Chain A
């Protein structure tokens, strides 16, 4: 089983829509969780860390459910500039390396 699993999409949504991505992780000892954004032919960039209590940054809301071992990202009022691949990333306790999901491709349509 993969460490991190995501629906690869693609998700094609109109501008202004709300879209949600989910991600599951296999290791219950995982300690840190992130969403990264990767634009085409660019490096991944940290979008937000995911806190146990959930957190919000503008139009983006991230939530963590440790019992079910899933992480979610909600994007409200989608913009054209939100079009990218969103990567779910997990760090296991005692490890330094990031485990990446395969990414979910989002295209926001005018």
Chain B
């Protein structure tokens, strides 16, 4: 499976500011995914990011709030814009990596908005 790193691992931010999370993979991958895990809940897909095209967002998530970049096959960023306390969550990136389309996750970014 791929080795995935994320930066920052955690941050505390003030409401109204923005935070950009980086995801780096040690091998080239076609698709990268961004998930959110709110406290005490399971994971929800935010968007799918393909290199060279606009990200595809899931219902309830919009590009203005969560802009995503995918400049090459090993890197992606997710920005959480104009943050509010409701954005406090763990944000995880993942890549697809197996015969059955299983995904492997980065360590996550723990965001707290005050």
A contact residues vs B (CB 8 Å cutoff): 32, 34, 41-46, 49, 87, 91, 96-98, 100-103
Residue from B31, B42, B108 whose CB has the most chain A CB atoms within 10 Å: B42
Residue pair B107, A97 in contact (C-beta under 8 Å) = no
Residues of B near A98 (CB, < 8 A) are 33, 43, 45, 94, 103
B40-60 residues at the A interface, CB under 8 angstroms:
41-45, 48, 58
Q: Smallest distance from the beta carbon of A102 to chain B beta carbons, Å?
A: 5
Residue contact A44 to B105, C-beta cutoff 8 Å:
yes
Tell which of A34, A43, A96, A102 touches B100, judged by Cβ atoms closer than 8 Å: A34
- Which residues of chain A are within 8 angstroms of B106 by Cβ–Cβ distance? 43
Residues of A within 8 A of B104 (CB): 46
Min CB–CB distance B31 → chain A (angstroms): 6
B111 at the binding interface (Cβ < 8 Å): no
Most buried by B among A32, A42, A98, A102: A98
A100 and B110 CA atoms in complex are apart in Å by 19
Complex Cα distance, B103 from A41, in Å, reads 19
| CB–CB A97/B33 < 8 A | yes
Q: Report B-chain residues with C-beta under 8 Å of the C-beta of A100.
A: 42-44
Q: Which of B42, B48, B58, B100 contacts A32 (CB 8 A)?
A: B100
For the complex, give the distance between the alpha carbons of A91 and B31 in Å: 15
Most central of B96, B103, B108, B110 by chain A CB within 10 Å? B103
Say whether A96 contacts B48, CB under 8 Å: yes
Q: Is the CB of B42 within 8 A of A43?
A: no
* Set A43, A46, A87, A91: member contacting B107, Cβ < 8 A: A43
A42 touches B107 (CB 8 A): yes
Q: Nearest Cβ in chain A — how far from B17, in angstroms?
A: 24
In the complex, 24 of the A-B residue pairs with CB atoms within 8 angstroms, ordered by the A residue number, are: A32-B102, A34-B102, A42-B108, A43-B92, A43-B105, A43-B106, A44-B92, A45-B105, A46-B1, A46-B98, A46-B102, A49-B98, A91-B100, A91-B101, A96-B101, A97-B33, A97-B58, A98-B33, A98-B43, A98-B94, A98-B103, A100-B43, A100-B44, A103-B42
